[in-house]
Structure 1
Amino acid sequence: MTSAERLHAFGDDALGHDDATGVAARIASGEITAAEAVEAAIHRIAQVNPTLNAQAFDDYARARARASRLNRPRGAFGGVPSGLKNNVHIQGMPLTFGSKAMPTSPKTRNGAFVEQFLSTGTIPICTTQTPEFGWTATTERLGGDVTRNPWNPQYSPGGSSGGTAALVAAGALPFAHGNDGGGSIRIPAAACGLVGLKPSRGRTGGDPISARMPVDLVSHGVLTRSVRDTARFFHALEAVYPAPKLARIGLAEHPPTRPLRIGLLIDSPSAPNPTDAETRRVVEATARTLTQAGHTVVDYTPSLSHSFRRDFEDYWSLLAFTIATQGRRLFGPEFRTSGLDPFTLGLSRRFLRRSPRIPLVVARLAASRLAFDREIRRQMDLLLSPVLCHTTPLIGHLSADQPFEQHFERLIAYVGFTPLHNATGAPAISLPVGLSSDGLPIGVMLSSRVGHERTLLEIGFELEEAMPFPRIDA
């Protein structure tokens, strides 16, 4: 797709071509007002959303009111417009998790992470689309209700934070919230040419449903167009949520000051197929760049249990079974099981076939954190891999309307790298260092030990300089 055919809303309004840090600086200096920034974002969403279908619910009236009252912006992103994914509690907003099974009544309080997000000074203006309960790696819902990729609207934006990714990549929002229980920040970041850091388990406020489960897979963060935006966001969160069990990140601003030992993993031991040629090319180019920068890059395969993929799939099925059978208890009497899509129901049925294994599955997944941490500590600083096994698929490849078994097989062939970090709680970052022959973004992933987000951000700064990230508005 040529640059003229890409769909974006960048222009000469109050938001300009700046990242969130740039917009915040212009608001703080008085060059623009928060009200002007919010109005520009609302106008930009109106430009792109009829095609992208990336916004779930708007919160424009409250956003305008907040911006008009903001005389002295405070926080790292004071007055900067943003969005929150449609799977967190926001006072006064519907919460549907992308599902027709859910009621649309507004919530009465903010969730823990939403309070942290607001503490950065940002003004959320909408919620963003997600597939049903975030189960899959696209953002497509029943009946052709799909969210599209601004780099080429015929393609998927990834998932499950695909609505966020589409709006940020298109320039409609400077940054926005995502969360990640199997790759849901990193996958859409890779598909839409963004930076996406899944932080360590416990770095941010918890997900209320996942936190009740025996293994908490979900971490919250943001999708951004620059490494500095991601670094500033997590530094700002530490002021209100210091995560005492983890090393502080601080404000990362520069590349690493010492050479690192980096393991290179190109084919996932958890995937049924090898990584495709285009993705392999980008990962190998990244490895060469890191070597030229003075780092040591060596081939490496983590010593995963041979059962890791099946264990993660079985646990994933347990989560779907919990939603399908306990939805009324979790979400209230208006929850309708009949509204669930075939993938959720198929995962739930799969659990019934696999349920005798669950105690052992939980034990192995719970033990994976320490095993992975010890292995990385002994052998390397970082692990470099693809984010995904192949390039971004066309809309429909992971359609919510297709038979469960077909959807499941296609998903497993696509998502072979990201679940490891959800099971182990380790941090991982997706960086948009390349393009496919069709002009679609390709991301690479770097991961490290629990608590070592700073190293990932520092290597992100280095790669952002050495391999400038493609811009949709170029």
Structure 2
Amino acid sequence: MQDIQALFDQEDATALAARVRQGEVHPEELLEAAIVRLEKVEPQLNAVVERLYDKARQAAQQPTTRQGPFAGVPTLVKDLFSPLAGALMSNGSRALGGARPDFDGELTARLRRSGCVLMGTSTSPEFGTSYSTESDRFGATHNPWNLAHSAGGSSGGAAALVAARVVPFAHGNDGGGSLRVPASCCGVFGFKPSRGLLPSGPVVGEGWAGMGTGHAITLSVRDSAALLDATAGIDLGAPYAAPLASKPYRLALQADPSPLRIALVERVGPWDVSSESLEAARDAARLCESLGHHVVVESLPVVLEEFLDQVFNIIGASTRNYLDVLGQMRGAPVNEAEVEARTRVILRERGQVSGACYAAAVEWIHAFGRRMAAFMQDYDVVLTPTLARLPPRIGELQAVRDDWSIERLIEHFHSYSPYTALANASGQPAMSVPLYWSPGGLPLGAHFMGRFGEESLLLALAAQLERARPWQGRVPPVNACSLS
């Protein structure tokens, strides 16, 4: 077992799967090692909703887990609009009670077909509307770099487990930064694909008017690329479709990209940005310049307050519709006492917008996508901080009151991350790359956004940055490594 633990310490999912295919290790061994690792750190992190060990052990014995790009690799699925047959799907809320779908979502099914062994579900804030993974139902997920701080959100459970070296990657999803924000907080790699590249069915048609997408948080860039190869492509009846790359995404990592034109955008919106966050972006810019890329300081074609006003019209209407559907499914309306203060504010302030208002908001974000596409004719990549300040302390973002206005709620959350939601609205691929740690030892990611459908270019840049400044050797104080 110690040898298997050492493999987990040193290798990513791609390497572990290669050993399974070659017969060097068995899926059952990897699973049992991952269980030991999870149990070692979970009391401190609180990153898991449900352990599914018995089902995972059954799956690990199947021939399908001995083949595929992720043969035998254990991982977890985020508990947010991601059906996993037989598992609790709470979406971080008390309102769903003990709901257990009897089917897999399409993305979950593709993970299974790739050889993954699904060993549990990871935490999310209620309905994914917070940049900190804290919920009344499950409590707070802690940052392995400093337990007084949040792991970020909404894929905070996934990020904490990957950063703590429990598993080499974990599924997540992203409607406004929910892969990239926790990746930044936890010092790992978070990649959001273009709108329509990953499947969202059969439950979700277009989450938040197409702003939401699934993918994963990974330790290595090549795992993220290989996951895209295994899971990308529209599902049956999908309302959006992004172009697939002409070659496998993992091949994009083999050569450095040609010199890129990079727009460095330090500020978006009216709120202050900390010196640490600015330094994280500037440090990334200097690294890019040292690698031969050309960096120009720029501004984006957006008024952030107007942008967020439109986005919350979509979020409010979508949340109201979701809770109405939930009430119909269970035969009793969802009452306010079943949801958190943040959700109550969104419902009160934006849950009753008219159909015309919702349609106008969708048209607004589509027009913004066209403005960004025009802006990107002059640049290959946009570089910003991922966050405007260090990872928040536990409770800092959860402190929401019922009497807040929507404007105060927006400022509370988006002054912390004013950058990431722009890529969701425009549909562009984006990533948080762990290149910088503060003097106090907390990670801060650099955020890169590429042109729609150009995942390969972003991944090539990420791999170049990973080679220039490797981060896999940076292990947080709370970790599952065999020698810690």
Structure 2 residue 261 is the aligned partner of structure 1 residue 261? yes
Alpha-carbon distance in structure 2 between the residues aligned to 1:208 and 1:365: 24
Q: Tell me which of 179, 182, 200 is aligned to 1:185.
A: 179
Alpha-carbon distance in structure 1 between the residues aligned to 2:102 and 2:285: 48
* Equivalence for 1:41: 34
SS at match of 2:253: coil
SS at match of 1:155: strand
Alpha-carbon distance in structure 1 between the residues aligned to 2:426 and 2:316: 18
Deviations 1:393-414 (A, max 9, x none): 1001011665563654321210
Contact residue 266 and residue 385 of structure 2 kept, 8 A: yes
- 1:72 to 1:353, Cα distance in 2 relative to 1, 3 A: closer
Structure 2 residue 392 is the aligned partner of structure 1 residue 390? no
* Equivalence for 2:230: 236
Instruction: State the AA in 2 paired with 1:292.
Output: S
SS at match of 2:119: strand
* Equivalence for 2:482: none
Contact residue 59 and residue 65 of structure 2 kept, 8 A: no
Instruction: State the AA in 2 paired with 1:351.
Output: R
* Ranges in structure 1 where 5+ consecutive residues have no aligned partner: 1-8
Range moving further from structure 2, 193-202 or 273-282: 273-282
Contact residue 13 and residue 40 of structure 1 kept, 8 A: no
* Ranges in structure 2 where 5+ consecutive residues have no aligned partner: 478-484
* Equivalence for 1:379: 378
- Structure 1 residues 331-410: aligned runs within 5 Å: 331-333=329-331, 336-337=334-335, 338-351=337-350, 357-376=357-376, 378-399=377-398, 402-403=401-402, 405=404, 408-410=410-412
Contact residue 101 and residue 335 of structure 1 kept, 8 A: no
The TM-score, its normalising length taken from structure 1, stands at: 0.91
Query: Between Structure 1 and Structure 2, how many residues are aligned?
Result: 462
* Equivalence for 1:298: 296
* Equivalence for 1:411: 413
Deviations 1:217-270 (A, max 9, x none): 1111010011111111112224897997504162222343411111111111xx
Instruction: State the AA in 2 paired with 1:68.
Output: Q
Contact residue 119 and residue 237 of structure 1 kept, 8 A: no
Contact residue 386 and residue 443 of structure 1 kept, 8 A: yes
SS at match of 1:421: helix
Range moving further from structure 2, 16-25 or 100-109: 16-25
Contact residue 116 and residue 237 of structure 1 kept, 8 A: yes
Alpha-carbon distance in structure 2 between the residues aligned to 1:71 and 1:93: 21
Structure 2 residue 423 is the aligned partner of structure 1 residue 421? yes
Contact residue 266 and residue 386 of structure 1 kept, 8 A: yes
Deviation of 1:104 (Å): 1.2
SS at match of 2:344: helix
What is the RMSD of the two structures over their aligned residues, measured on CA atoms?
2.5
* Equivalence for 2:86: 92
Instruction: State the AA in 1 paired with 2:200.
Output: G
SS at match of 1:450: coil
Contact residue 102 and residue 334 of structure 1 kept, 8 A: no
- 1:11 to 1:214, Cα distance in 2 relative to 1, 3 A: closer
Deviations 1:78-131 (A, max 9, x none): 000000001211111111101001021321111111112222211110000000
Alpha-carbon distance in structure 1 between the residues aligned to 2:353 and 2:267: 27
- 1:121 to 1:214, Cα distance in 2 relative to 1, 3 A: closer
The TM-score, its normalising length taken from structure 2, stands at: 0.89
Structure 2 residue 440 is the aligned partner of structure 1 residue 438? yes
* Equivalence for 2:481: none
Deviation of 1:345 (Å): 0.8
Alpha-carbon distance in structure 1 between the residues aligned to 2:170 and 2:62: 22
Alpha-carbon distance in structure 1 between the residues aligned to 2:386 and 2:60: 37
Q: Which runs of 4+ in 1 moved over 4 A?
A: 207-210, 238-245, 352-357, 400-404
